[in-house]
Amino acid sequence: MKRTYLMILFVALATIAYGQTDDKGYEEGKFVLKGVSGLNLSQTAMTNWSAGGENSVAGNAYLNGSLTHKSGNWLWVTNLVLDYGLTKTKSQGMRKSTDKIGLSTQLGYSTNNVWFYTLMGDLNTQFAKGYNYPDKEHYISNFFAPAYSNISLGMEYRPKSNYSIFLSPVSAKMTWVADDYLSDLGAFGVDPGDRFKIECGAYLKARAEMPLMENVSLITTADFFTPYDSQFGNIDVNWDMLISMKINKFLSATLNTTLKYDNDVKTFNDNGERSVRKRRCRHVNSRMSSESGHLFRMRRTRQRKRYDRQSEQHEEFRSLYLP
Its domain, for residue 241, covers 2-46+60-265
Residue 261 pLDDT exceeds 60: yes
Q: Which position has the higher pLDDT, 232 or 306?
A: 232
Residues 110 and 229 in one domain: yes
Percent above pLDDT 90 for the chain: 46
**Half-sphere exposure of residue 175: CA atoms within 13 angstroms, side-chain side:** 21
Domain-located, residue 276:
no
Do 125 and 15 have their domain in common?
Answer: yes
Burial class (CB in 10 A: 0-12, 13-18, 19+), 50: exposed
Assign residue 206 a region (left: φ > 0; alpha: ψ between -120 and 50; beta: otherwise): beta
Indicate whether 252 and 159 sit together in one domain. yes
In sequence order, what are the residues at sequence separation of 6 or more whose Cβ sits closer than 8 angstroms to the Cβ of residue 261?
Answer: 4, 235, 236, 237
pLDDT in tens, 95-139: 999 999 999 999 999 988 899 999 999 999 999 999 988 888 889
The 10s digit of each residue's pLDDT in 137-184 is: 889 999 999 999 999 999 999 988 888 999 999 999 999 999 999 999
Query: What is the 3-class SS of 13-54, one letter each residue?
Result: HHHHHHHCCCCCCCCECCEEEEEEEEEEEEEECCCCCCCCCC
Interstrand relation of 93-109 and 115-125 (parallel, antiparallel or unpaired): antiparallel
DSSP code at position 237: E
Q: Is 70 exceeded by the pLDDT of residue 305? A: no
Assess whether 163 and 309 both reside in one domain.
no
- Cross-strand pairs, 37: 63
* Statement to judge: residues 27 and 162 lie in one domain: yes
Looking at residue 320, its amino acid is: L
Instruction: Note the pLDDT tens digit of each residue in 12-42.
Output: 545 444 444 345 467 888 899 988 888 888 8
More confident site: 270 or 89: 89
Residues 8 and 115 in one domain: yes
8 Å CB contact between 168 and 204: yes
Weakest mean pLDDT among 9-23, 179-193, 217-231: 9-23
pLDDT of residue 267: 57
Q: 3-class DSSP state for residue 120?
A: strand
- Asked if residue 288 and residue 242 are part of one domain, the reply reads no
HSE, side-chain direction, 13 A CA sphere, residue 270 = 0
Q: How confident is the model at residue 283 (pLDDT cuts 50, 70, 90)?
A: very low
Over residues 157-169, the pLDDT tens digits come to 998 888 899 999 9
CA atoms within 13 A on the CB side of 290: 0
Domain C-terminal end among 217, 232, 265: 265
The average confidence (pLDDT) of the chain is 79
How many whole angstroms separate alpha carbon 239 and alpha carbon 118? 21
What is d(CA 141, CA 187) in angstroms, rounded to the nearest whole number?
A: 9
Do 195 and 315 share a structural domain? no
pLDDT band at 54 (very low <50, low <70, confident <90, very high): confident
